[in-house]
Amino acid sequence: MKIQVFSKVKKTLLTATQSNPLSVELCPLSELKKNSLQKDTIPYLDVSDLSEEEIKKSLKLINSVTNYGVWGVIDPNGIIKDPARLFFDGASDYMGPALCKEGMDRCRLKALLSWVEARQNASTGNNKKPINLAEIEDCIAESDKPGNAFPGWKAIKPGNIYNFYFFYVSVSAHTNLKSRLGEKAYKIFMDKFRMLLQQSFLESDCILWMETDSNALYLVPPKKQNATSIIVIALRILLSAPLLAYEKLHIPFPVKFTFALHYGQSEYAIPGKTGTIISDAINYIHHLGAKKAEPERLSISEEAAHLLEDKRLGQFFAEAGVFEKQRIFHSKKFMYK
């Protein structure tokens, strides 16, 4: 999560605190336009050196461009006579001369977001898109971790290090399956399986990163909602495996899928050019998938186990010992009676 300060002056007086810092970026006021805001950004207007007319115009503009209906005003010289008026006009924060010196930190941002959410809940008939606090908290949580913040698949840079969820997929007993189907039919089966997974995983915004003829590794953005979504989809696939195998993959005998999920850090490379990457997280997910994960189950490493704090997900999992110094959680098998 980033703060973007739009200002006419070349240096903003707003600083980030040292103890609990937050990324603050200064932008020229002329760049404050529709669709100019980056994702996961909260805009602030620095009113220093602005005339009354310019302030009025800029306030209107910032109110219309904001991502989450959240924006604030920075007033290092105390030129705003009636700060409460700003709130009547839709502002969510006001930082006067003293606060500007103190700086902006994450605690203030969290308090601000909670207040905005409460305000939106209280107001009925508000047409604005409701704030997604979970999404924003995800961004804040992500920026707490080492490595670069995930910028989205379009802006991601090969060579940089990011946090990801790694999702491992394999078809159990693939050698046996290959000999039963034959080389050509096995290839068709794997193509159909890839297609099925990619359609199912759309919601979780993941990408197919590495693939062999028996398993695949998907990269999931380091956001709780994406990872939660992929867990639910995997459980759904495990439950419906007989139907999917028969109807979508056209296999006349039972096929078992094995899934594993891990959270960690890795250098990013575009799919197909991942051969030179050296990463503990990638080693771990491959070991977990190949050596510890079991057919008809989703195995989750301790690093990704925070996702199971959600009781709705947690009920599907049980602890399954330790693997390479990490606790492992296996999904319970679905039984047909």
Partner 1 sequence: MRVKNSLLSLCKKTLYESISAEMMLRFMELMDPSYDFYTRSGIPHNIPVTNQMAAERIVSDAAEDGRFIDLVEVLVKVDSIGYMGRNYPIKGLAQIVKAINQEGFVFDSASGQFFENSSERASPDWGRLHDGDERQTALLRLDIASNSSIVKNNPVEQVDQVYSALRNIVQRAVISRFGRIWLWEGDGAIAAFVFYRKEAAAIMAGMEILNELYFYNSFANPLPDPVKLRVAVHAGPIKYRKDPIELLKNDTIKDIIQIEGKATPIDNLSASSNVFLSVDRVIQECFSQEKHTVFGKLRYYSIGLEH
Amino acid letter, residue 257: F
Nearer to partner 1, 11 or 312 (CB): 312
CA dist 38 and 143 (Å) reads 15
Task: State how far Cα 135 lies from the chain centre.
Answer: 8
**Residue 298 binds partner 1 (CB under 8 A):** no
Binds partner 1 (CB under 8 A): choice among 10, 184, 291, 312: 312
CA distances from 241 to 166, 167, 182, 255, 271 (A): 22, 18, 21, 7, 27
Binds partner 1 (CB under 8 A): choice among 57, 315, 319, 324: 315
Binds partner 1 (CB under 8 A): choice among 101, 129, 236, 306: 236
CA dist 323 and 321 (Å) reads 7
**Residue 332 binds partner 1 (CB under 8 A):** yes
CA dist 281 and 100 (Å) reads 41
**Based on the number of CB atoms within 10 Å of its own CB, is 207 exposed (0-12), middle (13-18) or buried (19 or more)?**
middle
Nearer to partner 1, 128 or 250 (CB): 250
Nearer to partner 1, 278 or 335 (CB): 335
The count of other CB atoms within 10 Å of the CB of residue 48 is 16
- Scanning 71-79, 195-203, 286-294, 310-318 for contacts with partner 1 by CB under 8 A, the matching segment is 310-318
Residue numbers 90-109 binding partner 1 by CB under 8 A: none
The distance of closest approach from Cβ of residue 229 to partner 1 in the complex, given in angstroms and rounded to an integer, is 10
**Residue 234 binds partner 1 (CB under 8 A):** no
Nearer to partner 1, 211 or 294 (CB): 294
CA dist 316 and 149 (Å) reads 30
Pattern of binders to partner 1 over 204-233, x per CB under 8 A?
A: ----------------------------x-
Nearer to partner 1, 287 or 332 (CB): 332
Angle between helices 224-239 and 133-144 (to 10 degrees): 110
**Residue 203 binds partner 1 (CB under 8 A):** no
Residue numbers 241-280 binding partner 1 by CB under 8 A: 242-243, 245-247, 251-254
Residues in CB range of 93: below 8 A, 6 or more apart? 44, 70, 71, 72, 73, 108, 112
Pattern of binders to partner 1 over 60-89, x per CB under 8 A?
A: ------------------------------
The distance of closest approach from Cβ of residue 136 to partner 1 in the complex, given in angstroms and rounded to an integer, is 22
**Residue 186 binds partner 1 (CB under 8 A):** no
The distance of closest approach from Cβ of residue 240 to partner 1 in the complex, given in angstroms and rounded to an integer, is 5
Please report which helix (H) or strand (E) contains residue 295, including its range: none
Binds partner 1 (CB under 8 A): choice among 79, 240, 272, 319: 240
CA dist 33 and 84 (Å) reads 25
**Residue 321 binds partner 1 (CB under 8 A):** no
**Residue 132 binds partner 1 (CB under 8 A):** no
CA dist 102 and 18 (Å) reads 10
Nearest CA-CA partner of 78 in 91, 94, 97, 93: 97
The distance of closest approach from Cβ of residue 297 to partner 1 in the complex, given in angstroms and rounded to an integer, is 9
CA dist 15 and 150 (Å) reads 23
CA dist 11 and 27 (Å) reads 10
The distance of closest approach from Cβ of residue 118 to partner 1 in the complex, given in angstroms and rounded to an integer, is 21
Q: Footprint of partner 1 on this chain (CB under 8 A)?
A: 232, 235-236, 239-240, 242-243, 245-247, 251-254, 312, 315-316, 332-337
